[in-house]
Amino acid sequence: MTAVVGDEATAPPSSVDPTYGTPTLSYASTYQSVDAAAARVAAVLVLSTAIVSGAAGIVGVDAPVSLRWVVPVGGVLIVWTAVFALFVYRRGLSARLVVVHASVVASVLLMQRQLVPSSVILDGSNWTLPIASAAVITSQVAFRPPRGPLLGSALIAVFVAGLFLAAPADPRMIFGALTFVIQLVLAAWLMSLLRRGDRVAEASLRSRLQAEVAATVEATYRAEQRRQSAQLHDHGLTTLLMVGLGTIATGSEILRQQAIRDLQAFDTLVSGTPEPPTDTCRLDELLRETVRSSELPIEVELHVPAIVTTSAAATCVAGCVAEALRNTARHAEVLAAGIRAWEEAGHNVVEVVDAGRGFDPESVPASRRGIRESIVGRMTAIGGMATVVSAPGHGTRVQLRWVA
């Protein structure tokens, strides 16, 4: 029978560092807020409208407007909006920057008499219209109500004042003002919806990251619990059991050396000494040392070629092999066991085999931790797999497999 067991949303930075070297987790936010994205869009809108509208104003110059006014004003406007866009992309859309931009635009709007021909000042050909519209929209991106609508309304009032200074009163002025008011309301409403969705998304992200941290803490706790259980089983409990069964004689030198090793293992367990760094070592040499230091009353035949693997994997496999040999000495009623190893399909494989009385792996109680924790649990912790093949009267084979 075979048993196989195996305003910008920033996510909350989290760190977990409990005892015994649990790794610290830091989560950098992969989430960009709506305000940050909208600010970049607004910067592109402001710059593009300034370039296109400024060029249109220069090309469409007609009496009594003079190039002596349009060219300098248009040039300054384009340069300023380029600086504005650069600041937004590098540092974000600050309140001070938006207020300065609104002041520049307001100055241009008050000079419509000198910049826009009277023949087109009240129709859609007025080249200051897109500049005013972009400024109104940008104010809603930069500020939440009521400051955003107040700044936008001030820009609309300045635009209308510029019209009154440039041309006689006309009903079309009211129509132009209403168009801007509609733009302001729609922009403020849209930003409000986007920000509300932004808050929901941020809350969802925080919840997900917190759940990931909690899961990592729980997994780390369980892994440490399994490691401690394996240590207790492999050392103190196993030694006591072997003395009780008579496998090791009371007062013998073997028992004394085993007790020393158990105490050293317990010191490491209590002090929380971190595991050695992940490097490589010779598994075959470590297995020979494991067999030599085990001092079990059985003869172990090794057929293990030179295998280089990580220190963590080698330590884990050596612990599994030691536990399998102790099981053989305690239960198999034989005087010999064999260890062999090979590489297969990108995996390292180690087997511990005996020709003893065998057992039914499915009948092992859950309270028995030897196979479940000291062998299977260890291999699972390094991403490997342990397979126990045994049956009454047919010996036992413990196979350990992990990525080479």
Owner of token pair 């105490």: 263
DSSP symbols for 134-182: HHHHHHHHH--TTHHHHHHHHHHHHHHHHHHHHS---HHHHHHHHHHHH
Q: What pLDDT does 180 receive? A: 92
CA 297, CA 261: separation in Å to the nearest integer?
Answer: 17
CA 281, CA 51: separation in Å to the nearest integer?
Answer: 66
DSSP symbols for 280-349: EEEHHHHHHHHHHHH--SSEEEEE----EEEHHHHHHHHHHHHHHHHHIIIII--SEEEEEEEEETTEEE
Domain boundaries along the sequence of the chain: 34-169
pTM of the entire predicted model: 0.52
> What's the pLDDT tens digit per position in 343-365?
999 999 999 999 999 998 888 87
SS3 402: strand
Instruction: Tell me which residue of 49, 47, 108, 103 sits closest to 73, measured CA to CA.
Output: 108
- Name every residue whose Cβ is closer than 8 Å to that of residue 295 and which is 6 or more positions away in sequence: 254, 257, 258
Q: What pLDDT does 249 receive? A: 57
- Name every residue whose Cβ is closer than 8 Å to that of residue 89 and which is 6 or more positions away in sequence: 40, 43
> What's the pLDDT tens digit per position in 270-313?
665 555 545 788 899 889 988 887 778 899 999 999 999 988 88
Q: What angle do CA 194, 185, 174 make, to 5 degrees?
A: 160
CA 128, CA 58: separation in Å to the nearest integer?
Answer: 12
Q: Which residues of the chain have pLDDT under 70?
A: 1-32, 227, 229-262, 264-266, 268-278, 366-367, 369
Question: Is the Cβ–Cβ distance between 137 and 45 less than 8 Å?
Answer: yes
Q: What pLDDT does 224 receive? A: 75
SS3 4: strand
CA 32, CA 10: separation in Å to the nearest integer?
Answer: 8
Q: What pLDDT does 193 receive? A: 93
Instruction: Classify strands 336-344 and 347-354 as parallel, antiparallel or unpaired.
Output: antiparallel
CA 291, CA 300: separation in Å to the nearest integer?
Answer: 7
| Paired strand residues for 112 | none
Q: What pLDDT does 382 receive? A: 85
